[in-house]
Amino acid sequence: MKYVARGLVLAVTGYLSGVALTVIINGNGATDELAVIAGYVLALIGWLAGVGGIEAFGRQWIGKTPKVSESQGWKRYFEFSIDHKVIGIQYGVTLISVLLIGGLSAMIMRIELASPGMGVVDLDDFNKIVSMHGILMVAVAVAGVIGAFGNYVIPIQIGAADMAFPRLNALAYWLLPPVAVGLLGAPFLGAFNAGWTSYAPLSVTNDSGQILFNLAIITFGLVSILGALNILVTVITMRAPGMTWGRLPIFTWAGFATSLLAFTVTQFFAAALVLVTMDRVAGTAFFSPDVGTGLLYEHIFWFYSHPAVYIMVLPGFGVILELVTTFARKPLFAYKAVVAALLSIVGLSVVVWAHHMFTSGMADFLHGPFMILTEAISIPTGIIFLSIIGTLWQGRLWFRTPLIVAFGWLFNFLIGGITGIFLADVATDIHLHDTYFVVAHFHYTIVGGAIFALLAATFYWFPKITGRMYNETAGRIFGIWVTLAFNATFIPLFWAGMNGMNRRVGDYPAAFEGANKFASVSALILGASFLLFVGNLLYSAIRGPKAGPNPWNARTLEWLVESPPSQHNFHSQPRIVGHPYDYGVEGSIHAHFPDEEPHAEEQREEVTV
Amino acid sequence: MTADTMHSEYHQDTAFQPRANRLGLWFFIMSECFLFGAFLSARYFTTGTFRPEELNQKLALAITIVLLASSISAYLAEASMAHNERKRFALWTTVTIGMAGIFLIGVAIELYEATLHYPPGTPYGSAYFMLIGLHAFHVITGMVGLFIVLFLGMRGRFGSDNYWGVEGVVKYWHFVDLAWVLIYPTLYLF
């Protein structure tokens, strides 16, 4: 905790001196936006220096050997540890906390929307809560699976001791707490009410909380870019001998594809917010209604934010594919086609952004091409879906919690995918745009596709990460509970949307009361299910029975080492000799450890069948 | 354990870390290209190819030549270190930093003139200040990097078998030049 405390002190010092400096130079108040920017930047630098940046990076710049945390036990989670497993857990715990806070804001919204008229909050506060809910959940969906499990699992799956740039990895994580503090601190400056999309020109003229939103999200972009870059280099350079691209576990492939997207498009969200910030404080006029244009914001923003939904769901695809092949005890169906599909989603996703803008007033001739490109993306997505079903087909399904949640994922994402067609189609989209149909659709894809995958992955890798087994009964109840409650919440909203209920509203016509009341009650039940989830995991992490190295009889490398893995993951260099998913193929072996004593190898072979 | 020995367990060969570093740097540069791409496309989106008559074309051309020349001196600095010639390395790095300084002074004059004729509140001025500002920020970070490798190089940190730090900073410097090669025609010629 010493380092976190030092980071906090330096961050507060940085913030205050930044504000003081600007106040002295400019003579404006302490909540002036320029002062907030200077304070935030200095606070960020102070925080990074405090949590270990001086030892890990600064020393090198003056010619000394860098130092990083070498602690063991609980302490290392609060220090600048460069162990990818520690960083994965740090991401996981941080983001699941953010998920719960975002969930609470959703509960407030649903309570307000349970009946027409304004009850618990007023309209302006409602906008702020919607915005906060949106951005927190987007952050969790973007970084949840790839940050937590990408960091934890990918290096082990490819047979590496760590990431290619362990210090950079730690730096990327330690940028995350300032993001959360910035977003959650925005209410002190009047919060932000422009939605997570922060469309200009509203985001240029609203309260100063928007500045903190911009700064936090630019920082978050940096987290995303640095993390993605690290995963790409790790997968390219650090694969174990014999780990050819054709033998790469599918979750690693999905993480690789995600990273390809994340490190190229994330800049666009940051760029859009930099432009907004400049319009606010530096007097530029990109989005002012008289000389600039709000369309510019929409184009730049969606150039990131459409691919972002694939940054959210591609790791989810990886998790579910990984799960179904393990729990169906069958080789992954159409492995090569799935890899091709993942990569073609990366390519296609950057040329579909304007389907969010069919009613924005952009040139008419763009509607057709963007509609067709958007619909084309359902082909690779369909291939992945087919692979999941093909793997499950005639498999000997083992209905443990991860598979139950994966079935929930499958159903939700199917609904999300089918309703997406109506939004990609120009004619229907013009009717459905900005209605609750869109809200229901993207909750089916993002919660259904990314958050359910995060839940499934948590159950799947929990025994590996903690060395203990979660409570299976509670897990199964949670899996069924969360799937049913989720569907009960969002199915009625499709109906409300089709009948014209606008999204982002705090009040609505009385005709929609039935659907909303049903959705609100279901949402509270959905929220309550997470108590079971968190309780189960917290209790099991401490009291759960020992899980052993390979409770699922899985074949990928992370299951061939002890739980939790030792500091360098492997005691000797693994050699990869076969495909990871040849379940039931006689005599097939994925990896062996030639340097270890013979009886250890025999034990490993038993579990590889 | 220090960060440098972290990977020694499985990556005994010394070629590994420079290889990973080099790849990482190229990815970073690619990533930066997208950032500049966002701002460049914003300029074309808001103002097309319009440019005001008051632009100081002569000064812009002069600082462009200085910046491009600094890429050559940066290359010479890297090559000197590869041949273990510390003095020449220090000389060329200093020359590069000097030219970067001249470039920044030129940019400052340009920005001052811009506030008179096309202030940030105009469509062209918005794009102009944004692009020049973003690029100047990269020039400054590149200069900081050059200062650090100059300092470390003088203290004998690098040698012909170990000059990744120099290589990385110089590659970044080439990228800063490349960005200007796209920004200059975007703002001054089209």
3-state secondary structure B99-153: HHHHHHHHHHHHHHHHHHHCCCCCHHHHHHHHHHHHHHHHHHHHHHHHHHHHHHH
Does residue B5 belong to any structural domain of this protein? no
Q: In this predicted structure, what is the pLDDT of residue B22?
A: 92
Contact A238 B120 (CB under 8 A): no
Q: Which residues of B touch A274 (CB under 8 A)?
A: 130
b/e sequence A152-190, b meaning 16+ C-beta within 10 Å: bbbbbbbbbbbbbbbbbbbbbbbbbbbbbbbbeebbebb
More confident residue, A156 or B54: A156
**Interval A451-471: pLDDT, tens:** 999 999 999 999 999 999 999
Residue A609 — pLDDT band, cuts 50, 70, 90? very low
Structural domain boundaries, residue B125: 15-48+55-189
When pLDDT is averaged across residues A224-236 and rounded to a whole number, the result is 95
Chain B residues in contact with A70 (beta carbon < 8 A): 1
Amino acid sitting at position A582: D
Q: How far apart are CA B161 and CA A287, in angstroms?
A: 52
CA angle B138, B140, B144 (to 5 degrees): 115
CA distance A308 to chain B (A): 15
B70: its two tokens: 């600094």
Helices (H), A332-377: 335-349, 367-376
Instruction: Give the pLDDT confidence of A151-169 residue by residue, as tens digits.
Output: 999 999 999 999 999 999 9
Q: Counting beta carbons within 10 angstroms of the beta carbon of residue A65, is it exposed (0 to 12), middle (13 to 18) or buried (19 or more)?
A: exposed
A285 vs B contacts (CB less than 8 Å)? 120-123, 125-126
Average the pLDDT over A31-50 and give the result.
92
Calculate the dihedral angle through the C-alpha atoms of B124, B128, B129, B134, rounding to the nearest 10 degrees: 140
Specify the range with the lowest mean pLDDT, choosing from A7-16, A299-308, A508-517, B10-19.
Answer: B10-19
DSSP assigned state of A146 = I
Per-residue model confidence (pLDDT) at position A247? 93
Q: Are A423 and A441 in contact (CB under 8 A)?
A: yes
Q: What is the pLDDT of residues A408-428, one digit of tens each?
A: 999 999 999 999 999 999 999
Residue B11 pLDDT greater than 80, yes or no: no
Domain residue limits, chain A: 1-81, 82-543, 557-608
Alpha carbon distance A302, A328 (integer Å): 38
Instruction: Select the CATH number that applies to the domain covering A82-543 from these four: 1.20.210.10, 3.20.20.70, 1.20.120.1200, 3.40.50.150.
Output: 1.20.210.10
Please write the tens of the pLDDT for every residue from A483-500: 999 999 999 999 999 999
Mean per-residue pLDDT of chain A: 91
Q: What is the mean pLDDT of residues B50-68?
A: 92
Digit-coded pLDDT (tens) for A342-378: 999 999 999 999 999 999 888 889 999 999 999 999 9
Residue B15, pLDDT score = 60
Q: Which residue do the tokens 């997406």 mark?
A: A420
Query: What's the one-letter identity of residue A467?
Result: G
Q: Is the pLDDT of residue A537 over 60?
A: yes
| CA distance linking residue B68 with residue B96, whole number of Å | 10
The ipTM estimated for the assembled molecules is: 0.90
pLDDT, position A599: 52
User: Does B10 fall in a domain?
Assistant: no
- Residue-wise DSSP of A90-132: HHHHHHHHHHHHHHHHHHHHHHHHTSSS--SS-HHHHHHHHHH
- In chain A, residues with a C-beta closer than 8 Å to the C-beta of B35 are 267, 270-271
- Inform me whether the C-beta atom of residue B15 falls under 8 Å from chain A C-beta atoms: no
Cα–Cα distance measured from residue A199 to residue A275, given in angstroms and rounded to the nearest whole number: 12
Residue B119 has pLDDT above 50, yes or no: yes
In a domain, B172, yes or no: yes
A64 pLDDT more than 70: yes
Domains in chain B, number: 1
Kindly indicate the confidence band of residue B190, based on its pLDDT and cuts at 50, 70 and 90: confident
Residues of B in contact with A292 (CB under 8 A): 46, 123, 126
* Cis, bond preceding A116 (omega within 30 deg of 0): no
A578: CB partners within 8 A, 6+ apart = A247, A588, A589, A590, A591
| Contact yes or no for A320/A387 (Cβ under 8 A) | no
Is residue A76 pLDDT above 60, yes or no? yes
pLDDT value of residue B7: 41
Q: Is the pLDDT of residue B5 over 80?
A: no
pLDDT band at residue B4, thresholds of 50, 70 and 90? Answer: very low
For residue A9, pLDDT over 50 is answered with yes
Are A233 and B9 a contacting pair at CB < 8 A? no
CA angle B52, B48, A283 (to 5 degrees): 65
**Residue B23 Cα, gap to closest chain A Cα (Å):** 7
CATH code where residue B127 lies: 1.20.120.80
User: Band of the pLDDT at B35, cuts 50, 70, 90?
Assistant: very high
- pLDDT at B56 > cutoff 60: yes
Helix residue ranges per DSSP H, A144-249: 151-157, 166-174, 176-185, 202-205, 209-237
**CA-CA distance, B109 to A105, in Å (whole number)?**
50
Residue A546 has pLDDT above 90, yes or no: yes
Q: How far is CA B169 from CA A157, A387, B103, B142, in A?
A: 33, 45, 18, 7
Mean pLDDT of chain B: 89
| Facing A63 at nearest CB: one of B7, B16, B152 | B152
Taking the C-alpha atoms of residue B120 and residue B141, their distance in angstroms, rounded to an integer, is: 24
For residue A52, what pLDDT band results from cuts at 50, 70 and 90?
A: confident
pLDDT at A541: 93
Interacting residues of A386 by C-beta distance below 8 A, sequence separation 6+:
A333, A334
- Binning pLDDT at 50, 70 and 90, where does residue A10 land? very high
- Per-residue pLDDT tens over the stretch A556-590: 999 999 989 988 899 888 999 999 999 988 888 89
What is the separation, in whole angstroms, between the first and last Cα of chain B? 55
**Percent of chain A scoring above 90 in pLDDT:** 79
pLDDT > 50? residue B9: no
- Per-residue confidence band for B182, with pLDDT thresholds at 50, 70 and 90: very high
Q: Report if residue B91 sits inside a domain.
A: yes
CB A248 within 8 A of CB A158: yes
A607 pLDDT exceeds 70? no
Give the separation between CA B78 and CA B71, rounded to whole angstroms: 11
Residue B3: the pLDDT is 41
B125 touches chain A (CB under 8 A): yes
Look up residue A578 and give its two tokens. Answer: 């076969």
Q: pLDDT at position A441, please?
A: 96
Which two structure tokens, joined as six digits, stand for B130? 């944004």
Spatial distance between the Cα atoms of A92 and A146, rounded to a whole number of angstroms? 10
Is the CB of B2 less than 8 angstroms away from the CB of A66? yes
